Structures are given as structure tokens and as C-alpha cells.
Amino acid sequence: MRCLYYPAPTLDSARHIAADLRALGVKDSFLHAIAKDEAGLKQWNIPCGNYLETLDLVRDGFIGSAIGFFTGLIGVELLKLFEPFGPAVPGSVYFATVAVATLFGAWEGGLTGIATENKKLAKFHGDIEAGRCLILIYAFQEQEAAVREMLRARHPEAGLAAIDQHFINPFSAVRRHAESARPEAGFLQRG
């Protein structure tokens, strides 16, 4: 499953795109729009992007847990080196030290992620703030060609801006495409 990024210049355009995608068989759970005007999206019954799509919660949580894990390993080595509790410390104490440090790192990373815009959407931040709407379509391989062709034929105002192999992977890169019909909008600069 791939995530297709389509910029829509207006909410009305996004509403028509969503209706055409539903007619094509794309379920609402595979269609999300991200816009500054979330009330407008709800008014037109366009599914809004969720926190996993708009915030860096997962990515920063993973990074925090990795930092916590390695910090815990360093803490264990320091406990073994300095022996503050004596030489007969059970292995469960070392395990607990690493586990607590990992969980604390994941928690701190999650808190950081809640306060941070998703790195994949950062490229589209200026356009979203300018009132445009970014539509994310999760398409199965057998459905992708039909979705792309329908949008190319019926909605030339919203060209394909990027493709992600899967949006949920927080470390995957977003590939940009030269199909965008609106390079002046900032979604895609040719060159």
C-alpha cells in the first residue's frame, strides 16, 4: 500500500475529489485530508488527517526509546563499574534499569512528537497554511493506477505531488513527482 499526496487548491476541489474517490471504491479510512480549515473538511464530510499523520509522535517515540535504551545500557555499565550497591547485584536490576530508561525515552520522545509537525508533511506546511488542502490517499497496488488515472482525468488542478511507500513507516522518505499541475503553489518545484 502506498500513500499518494495530492494537493487541492480549495476545499470545494477536495470535496469533489473525495466524492470521486468514494465512487471509485476508496474507503474513507484510506482517504484523509489535511487543511488549516478542519471545520470546513468536517462540514463537507471529508475525512481529516489523524494525529499519527499530522504529528511526529511515532517517529520521535522510536527515536526517544532508542536514546533511552542506549542510556540504560550506559547506566548498567556504570553500575557494574562503580558497584554502588555492592558486587552482588541481581541481573534483574540491570534489566530493569535498561527497561525504565527505554520507556522513559519513549515517553519523552512521544511528548516531543506531539509538539512537532510530521516530517513528511513539513514540505507542504506553507501550502497548508496558505489555505490549500493536502489529500492523502492510501491505495492498494491493484487500485493505484485507477486512482491516479481518475485524478489525472477529472481533477487536473490537483496533480500528484509525492508518493510514500507507506505513510506509517516514520523513517521512510517521501518521493516527489513531476506530475503536479501546480508547481507555483510550492507543492513541487521543477528543476
pLDDT in tens, the chain (191 residues): 899 999 999 999 999 999 999 999 999 999 999 999 999 999 999 999 999 889 999 999 999 999 999 999 999 999 999 999 998 999 999 999 999 999 999 999 999 999 999 998 988 998 899 999 999 999 999 999 999 999 999 999 999 999 988 767 888 878 777 655 444 444 444 33
Distances (CA, A) of 128 to 7, 37, 38, 72, 167: 9, 9, 11, 40, 18
Q: Outline which parts of the chain fall under CATH 3.30.70.
A: 2-54+118-185
For 175, other C-beta atoms within 10 Å of its C-beta total 11
- Kind plus residue range of the DSSP H or E element containing 133: strand 133-139
pTM: 0.82
What fold characterizes domain 2-54+118-185?
Alpha-Beta Plaits (3.30.70)
